[in-house]
Amino acid sequence: MKNVIHLGSRCIVSPNEISRLEAQGNYTLIHFKDGSQLLSSTTLGVLEDRLSPFRFFRVNRSVIINLNYLNRFRIVTPEKAKAQFSRSNSSKDIFLSRRRAAAFMARVNA
């Protein structure tokens, strides 16, 4: 297994450096653990395939998170599930898709 991933436009990084990815139309905004960001012309679906061997999970249509940076999560109601995603000292609530909730619980509890 490779220890690096190609993000597009001659950018190669370690998956451990990536905290989350967000879709921005046909682009992807990549957030790194040091707080920096990169806008890549590679779509979220392509990057999801490249990140599949690592601990990443697509929580909804527009966000993929690195499970290594998942601090805590709470399920409020089945319709309103939220994952508390922590990066450094800041945190962000991310909507967890109802259809992906069961797979998320199985992946997190594994």
Q: Which residue has the higher pLDDT, 83 or 43?
A: 43
Residues in the chain: 110
Which of the four pLDDT bands, split at 50, 70 and 90, describes residue 109?
confident
CB 8 within 8 A of CB 52: no
Give the mean pLDDT of 71-99: 63
Please say if the pLDDT value at position 73 is more than 70: yes
The neighbour count for residue 33, using CB atoms within 10 Å, is: 15
- pLDDT value at residue 37: 94
The structure's pTM equals 0.82
Domains and CATH numbers, the chain: 5-109 (2.40.50.1020)
Please say if the pLDDT value at position 86 is more than 70: no
Amino acid in position 35: G
- Quote the mean pLDDT of the chain: 84
